[in-house]
Structure 1
Amino acid sequence: MIQIPKTTVVGQGLHVRQQVFIHRGQLNLLESKTLGETLGRMPSVQNASFGPNAGMPMIRSLSGNRVRVMSDGLSLNDLSGITPNINAQIDMENLSGIEVYKSGASVLYGGRAIGGAVNLHDNTIPKVMYQKPIQASVVVEAGTNSGHRESVTIDGNLGKRWALHIGGSQLKHGDLRIPGNTKADIAYDPNIDHLTADMAQVEVDRLDERNLTLYRYLSRFVQENIDDPKWGLSESELYTNEQYSNIDGERVQNDPNPLYIAGQPEDTPSYFSTVLGIRDYAPVRKGIMPNSHAESRSAYVGASYIQDYFRVGIGYKAIEGYYGVPAFARLSKPKHTHDPSEVVAPTYMPINTRTLSHSVHLEGAYQVKNSLVVDDINLRYSFQKGDDRELVGIYRVNKFDSKRHGVRGEVNQKKWRFWSGTTGVDFSNMKIQSDGQQRYLPDVSGRELGIFTLQKFEIRNIYASLGYRRDWVARRAVHDEGYVVSRGMAGGKLSDRDFGLHQATVDIRWDISSNFFIRSAASHAQRAPDFNELYAGNDHFAILVEENGDDRLPKESANSYELGGGIKFDNFQLSGSHYSSRFKNYLYLAHTGMSRSGGFLVKEWRASDTEISGWEAQFDYHHSLQEGSMVEFSSFFDLVKNRNISDDEMRQWAEGDFMPNLPTSRYGISTGVQNGRWMANASLDRYLKQKFLGKNINLERPMPAYSLLRARIGYRFTVAKRNILTYIDGNNLLNVEARPQNSPLKYLAPLSGRNISLGLRMEI
């Protein structure tokens, strides 16, 4: 059955906590190359795109270190919050579903869920015995603009108590096609400012000439000494507003400037610029997104011993990836010289990313019999090891060897009259060893311990939850001679930091009738600064920034509320909500107004107050015509603002009234039809031109509005008792130039162009 993703209620908090759950059938329709792209059609969730091969979910304008991504409740060994070009290592074919928390989940998952959480339901460790002794599925897909991908999964039962899961997948594509130019029009605008030119990776050959009409006099001193080499004077120093010159100790009247024009406005520019030419750092071709190649491989195996009230399992996963970022960098900075013969033309090379991860998972569950208090106990452990590399061309500039241990235990209470709940503890320990020619992080380590409880109450038609969590977080950096410390405001002392965090939430829903409900929620959440925010320094090639941390940064706090409601009649359902979060010490990567040779903007981590607010609404219609036939329709809109509420003059000068790179307001419609063996669905999303513009020292440029059309037609049939689904899938069918406002690479590359894929999914 075709089903359009919609907001549903999950678990015991059926009438309380709004979550989105996407099951496997929906994932088959939505699945894309990245997690952010897969989830990007939900209200208030957009893709934090860093090129076509790296994208994480942005929830209500928050992403990175504020949206926790987990696998079965345990954090992934995910460095995307530190460097967005490193994609989370996920095999989408190995998931049974994805659970999304849009209104913050810090009580359950800690400070890094201050803006939301994504929990991947992984298939590696079997949860139940399979219906057949052995079963398998195969997926093969090839596209006109997406390369090809293949995956295979084998499940089976070994006797009456053991279940086994084995599988793997691969994907590969070359540089992607795009409509029009790879760079935005602003890149070749003669009026482009130098910071935007750096972000667009263009060199502007500009001739700056002084406005000589602003100067009253001609300097007598310069006139008499301009030909004397010992003074090193130039013609530009001839013009002055000083009435006198000092010559041999005497004041001498300067001559009037015949070009001077009196009475000009105060904002008359002192220089006139003439652009002689604009050239790209590296050659680009129309219709091709440069360095957008990708390839990945994965393998996984898991086994479980399952009894009626007890289950224990172990699993192993390995994922490897190599992909490009559509941007270029210089391997080394030029040396300063006054000799023109020593000037060497800069060589820019593509930025690439290579990743390899191994992980081992243990999982146990026990349903307690004959207990009045405890329903079940769950315990999970994972060890993850990662090797993530940033390359300029083929040269390694950054390498991260990371190790993470994580353990989580939960005790679910038996429901007693109107009361149930969950209490638990989780702990993680992470170490990162960095290496490379110009690494921007020292060796770091961190620990996080959290104890939490979430209690739920159901009294007639009122449903409520109340939760609290206490976290202890430690951040450490290793001093070594091979690391160049930050040149930011803190001076790069690499101080040890310890944080105590408090998380609290209350959520109430009142079902006024069987057709109408209202809901309110309030929370207090805190987040500790992450490694890059505290300790970064040097060039961060992947984001084209010289990144400087500040080891004095405070913890981040947010007080949030949400008000919403919904109406349901027969096959129609309408819901909506308004939310607001006021952040104290909101941590952000701020502009300094400087850039280094090679186009790297100089930025540093700062703390300032901000407010995030927005609206979202969704309408759904579902109608079953007859057995095996149905029609669905859905529409949504969302709007979010990330507003500066501080009295920080530096932030107002650099970033303005709103944070730059805000996701735009948008609306969308979807429809799905199924008739017997045939099924079809289509969606159209409209992304509006951004009205809430921030600054990159200069006012941010809004990207044009655009619409994305996607459609899919499938046919299901049986051959030799094998279920087979064939489908044709189209993305960006209008082949429009789409540049998401929230993408840091919006000046460099749009979304990929039209793609038509043919696929086959077979169950054996």
Structure 2
Amino acid sequence: MSSPAFAGRRLAPVVAGLLAAAAQAQTSTLAPVQITGNPLRSETTATPATVLAGDELVLRRGASLGETLAGQPGVASTWFGPNANRPVIRGLDGDRIRILENAGASFDASSLSFDHAVPIDPLVVERVEVLRGPAALLYGGNAVGGVVNTIDNRIPRQPVRSLGGAVEARVGGADAERGGAALVESGNGELAVHVDAFGRETSDLHVPRFTPVDAGVPLDPATRVRNSAARASGGALGLSRTSADGYIGIAGDLLDSRYGVVAEPDVTIRLERERLALAGERRGLDGALRSLRAQFSRTVYRHQEIEGGGEVGTTFDHRGSAGRIELEHAPLGAWRGVVGLQGEEAVFSALGEEAFVPGTRTRSLGLFALEEADWSGGRFGAGVRVERVRVASDGDAAGAEPRFGAPAERRFTPGSASLSNLWTFRPGWGLATTLSLTQRAPTSFELFANGVHAATGAYERGDASLAAERSRHAELALQWQRGEDRLRAGVYVARFANYIALEVTGNTVEDVPEYVFRAVRARFAGLEVEGRHRLLEAPWTLTLEGNASLTRASNADTGAPLPRIAPLRALLALEAAQGPWRLRAEVDHAARQDRFGAGDQATPGWTLLNLALARRVALAGSEALWFLKLNNAGDRLATSASALQTVRDLAPLPGRALKAGLRVVF
């Protein structure tokens, strides 16, 4: 694979050129419509969702999706150090959480192993939408826990009639970040061009003084997380033909990233990804169809695990193609809805010392339909999805040491169905109810793994006889909104008939404990509360915000807690604003986690104080936002209960650090 054309060292002249054009440029913005899980573009939905965009996203943007979404209700992270940090939603992670780019599939290896990063840099993301709870109906069985959809404008979707763009620079933080991004868009109202580039470099993460523990052996006290530095660069080029009724476009992007693996002090991962995407939409059609949306993408992903001497230990290669089409039909009486078709094909291989899974090919094809109707009891929705999934193993490669056996293949037909209702029983008050049945086909590693997994420090063994995972979900939420004030409080429960868990057997293989993928009964239950209240209007606006979430997850066969479940977490923030100024103070609290699975241990609670100051500035036809953030102002030692125990002992959460940034939109 080739390295990205937009390397970090070339970013400075790009930024300078864009700033030179700022004086005569204007910006183009998209309407703030929730995209994820909302194909009918309804103003409100029954599914709980979080949206980060604009100034809020700029201030919360981190080096990874997991860090960016920290503090959102129901969201935790795998926290394999600052670089490999995948979102966890309501206690579910890995293949049960779908990571999307502009509602399309993102092919990588992050769900296979905790030390594999998600190849999406938040620096070039304009909007992040998070669906909490099952989204299998629209996105497949591996969205049983939720969806994280990153949205950019690399394929322009609205007419662009002038030159515009944005430049962002950031420095500081616990990882001593030096980073920046720039994008420019231009068009004549019909043709639109988008170009962006970014670069980021970080040092080993600064943390409060602690004693690292490696394989049970205490090391010297430290204030840095070993081997956690990183650097990344990338860019994209997109072209669209747009009109008032839709668009059709193409974009290509490149990413090159190198980062250390905190669990292995002499291992560095080099990650490269190339992606080509096509997308289009046509609205305002007459006849039976009212709109059509389609997209296709092709991804070539590779990462190499490089040993201290420079030799390549293991190479992971993942190549995938995905296509999706949605058709919105004309109203049928009170009913309006969409039908869609989604297909994906992924070819995966792992070669080298730590290859614990064989080469595999996974194909899926899904057909779905979603319908909505307004009635006296609110807005009622119903949907169904049927998939056909094929997972094939190449078995042992010619001449290789026997491990995976002969080639094998499994076929599954997962189905999902959902019912929802949003009842507005008084002005501003609503009651949201959802019921769903979901099925998820086992992944290639759950079926065919057989080897030592260095990231988990375990010998993992798959089970080729596993059946599709089946679950039932129910959720009830009360929501209220009046002006700037809002409140949502909900409870949910999920019961899995055969939850595919990785369980310790008590045996030792190749000097590490053996873990086996097994189907067990499991139960998840939780609550989420989030709200916002305007305390004062003038001369300063003063706003109180907060959220709290709790998930309890157990093996229903044994009653034992499931591993790596985040404890009760609550965030309370006070924000003051006047004119261009914005000040924010937030207290982030996690309770002690005393419910832990086999091989784990209790995680201490913690409380962190974060402060932020931001100001908007007008610059000759452009607008700038500069900010200062002081995170973990008390320099408290904190660890993540949703991280692996081996990494928890090596990589605490970031210590006290000041970060500064500037974003110019023109």
CA apart distance, 1:620: 1.4
CA apart distance, 1:403: 0.8
Tell me the residue number matched to 1:323.
259
- Within 5 Å, which residues of 2 pair with 1:615-626? 615-622=527-534, 625=537
For residues 394 and 43 of structure 2, the distance between their equivalents in structure 1, rounded to whole angstroms, comes to: 44
Tell me the residue number matched to 2:174.
145
Task: Establish whether residue 763 from structure 1 lines up as the match of residue 649 from structure 2.
Answer: no
For residues 548 and 179 of structure 2, the distance between their equivalents in structure 1, rounded to whole angstroms, comes to: 35
Q: Is the 8 A contact 1:174 1:292 kept in 2?
A: yes
Tell me the residue number matched to 2:205.
176
CA apart distance, 1:323: 0.8
Tell me the residue number matched to 1:694.
597
CA apart distance, 1:99: 1.6
Q: Normalized against structure 2, the TM-score is what?
A: 0.89
Task: Establish whether residue 603 from structure 1 lines up as the match of residue 515 from structure 2.
Answer: yes
Distance 1:632 1:356, change over 3 A: same
CA apart distance, 1:15: 4.4
SS at match of 1:26: helix
For residues 121 and 533 of structure 1, the distance between their equivalents in structure 2, rounded to whole angstroms, comes to: 30
Tell me the residue number matched to 2:290.
375
For residues 209 and 376 of structure 2, the distance between their equivalents in structure 1, rounded to whole angstroms, comes to: 59
- Within 5 Å, which residues of 2 pair with 1:511-590? 511-568=424-481, 571-590=484-503
Tell me the residue number matched to 2:636.
736
Query: C-alpha deviations, 1:587-609, integer Å up to 9, x for none?
Result: 111112244566x4322211111
Read off the aligned partner of 1:689 and give its amino acid letter. Answer: R
Q: 1:100 aligns with which of 111, 130, 143?
A: 130
SS at match of 1:107: helix
For residues 604 and 90 of structure 1, the distance between their equivalents in structure 2, rounded to whole angstroms, comes to: 31
Q: Is the 8 A contact 1:386 1:403 kept in 2?
A: yes
Q: What is the percentage of aligned positions where both structures have the same residue?
A: 24
Task: Establish whether residue 299 from structure 1 lines up as the match of residue 235 from structure 2.
Answer: yes
Q: Is the 8 A contact 2:160 2:190 kept in 1?
A: no
For residues 34 and 96 of structure 1, the distance between their equivalents in structure 2, rounded to whole angstroms, comes to: 14
Tell me the residue number matched to 1:207.
none
Tell me the residue number matched to 1:37.
67
Tell me the residue number matched to 1:261.
none
For residues 43 and 382 of structure 2, the distance between their equivalents in structure 1, rounded to whole angstroms, comes to: 11
Q: Is the 8 A contact 2:254 2:274 kept in 1?
A: yes
For residues 33 and 549 of structure 1, the distance between their equivalents in structure 2, rounded to whole angstroms, comes to: 32
Query: C-alpha deviations, 1:241-272, integer Å up to 9, x for none?
Result: xxxxxxxxxxxxxxxxxxxxxxxxxxxxxxxx
For residues 621 and 122 of structure 1, the distance between their equivalents in structure 2, rounded to whole angstroms, comes to: 30
- Within 5 Å, which residues of 2 pair with 1:123-272? 123-130=153-160, 133-183=162-212, 187=213, 200-202=214-216
Read off the aligned partner of 1:172 and give its amino acid letter. Answer: E
Q: 1:27 aligns with which of 57, 61, 72?
A: 57
For residues 196 and 384 of structure 2, the distance between their equivalents in structure 1, rounded to whole angstroms, comes to: 39
CA apart distance, 1:44: 1.0
- Within 5 Å, which residues of 2 pair with 1:66-105? 66-105=96-135
SS at match of 1:123: coil
For residues 634 and 304 of structure 1, the distance between their equivalents in structure 2, rounded to whole angstroms, comes to: 39
Q: Is the 8 A contact 1:78 1:88 kept in 2?
A: yes
SS at match of 1:80: coil
Distance 1:8 1:437, change over 3 A: closer
For residues 391 and 585 of structure 1, the distance between their equivalents in structure 2, rounded to whole angstroms, comes to: 38
CA apart distance, 1:401: 1.6
For residues 263 and 46 of structure 2, the distance between their equivalents in structure 1, rounded to whole angstroms, comes to: 45
Work out the number of aligned pairs and report it. Answer: 627
CA apart distance, 1:525: 0.2
For residues 91 and 319 of structure 2, the distance between their equivalents in structure 1, rounded to whole angstroms, comes to: 29
Q: 1:718 aligns with which of 618, 643, 650?
A: 618
Distance 1:515 1:719, change over 3 A: closer
Q: Is the 8 A contact 2:439 2:469 kept in 1?
A: yes
For residues 672 and 569 of structure 1, the distance between their equivalents in structure 2, rounded to whole angstroms, comes to: 19
Read off the aligned partner of 2:176 and give its amino acid letter. Answer: G
Q: Is the 8 A contact 2:159 2:187 kept in 1?
A: no
CA apart distance, 1:435: 1.3
Distance 1:485 1:469, change over 3 A: farther
Tell me the residue number matched to 1:662.
565
For residues 296 and 525 of structure 2, the distance between their equivalents in structure 1, rounded to whole angstroms, comes to: 37
CA apart distance, 1:118: 1.4
Q: After the TM superposition, which of the residue ranges 473-482 and 562-571 deviates more from structure 2?
A: 562-571
Q: Is the 8 A contact 2:317 2:350 kept in 1?
A: yes
Query: C-alpha deviations, 1:450-474, integer Å up to 9, x for none?
Result: 0000101112451111000000000
SS at match of 1:658: coil
- List alignment gaps of at least 5 residues for structure 1: 1-5, 188-199, 203-278, 329-348, 647-651
Tell me the residue number matched to 1:746.
648
Distance 1:509 1:159, change over 3 A: closer
For residues 66 and 485 of structure 1, the distance between their equivalents in structure 2, rounded to whole angstroms, comes to: 31
Read off the aligned partner of 1:731 and give its amino acid letter. Answer: N
Query: C-alpha deviations, 1:688-726, integer Å up to 9, x for none?
Result: 011323222xxx321111012222101222233332222
Q: Is the 8 A contact 2:36 2:103 kept in 1?
A: no
For residues 7 and 153 of structure 1, the distance between their equivalents in structure 2, rounded to whole angstroms, comes to: 24
Task: Establish whether residue 635 from structure 1 lines up as the match of residue 665 from structure 2.
Answer: no
SS at match of 1:101: strand
Tell me the residue number matched to 2:95.
65
Task: Establish whether residue 499 from structure 1 lines up as the match of residue 412 from structure 2.
Answer: yes
Task: Establish whether residue 510 from structure 1 lines up as the match of residue 412 from structure 2.
Answer: no
Tell me the residue number matched to 1:286.
222
Cα-Cα RMSD = 2.3
Q: Normalized against structure 1, the TM-score is what?
A: 0.78
For residues 576 and 54 of structure 2, the distance between their equivalents in structure 1, rounded to whole angstroms, comes to: 18
Q: After the TM superposition, which of the residue ranges 465-474 and 539-548 deviates more from structure 2?
A: 539-548
Q: 1:410 aligns with which of 296, 302, 326?
A: 326
Q: 2:302 aligns with which of 368, 371, 387?
A: 387
For residues 257 and 181 of structure 2, the distance between their equivalents in structure 1, rounded to whole angstroms, comes to: 18
Query: C-alpha deviations, 1:469-524, integer Å up to 9, x for none?
Result: 000000011132455565xxxx8555210000110000112211114322221100
For residues 117 and 16 of structure 1, the distance between their equivalents in structure 2, rounded to whole angstroms, comes to: 15
SS at match of 1:603: strand
Distance 1:461 1:151, change over 3 A: farther
For residues 719 and 377 of structure 1, the distance between their equivalents in structure 2, rounded to whole angstroms, comes to: 40
Q: After the TM superposition, which of the residue ranges 284-293 and 522-531 deviates more from structure 2?
A: 284-293
SS at match of 1:315: strand
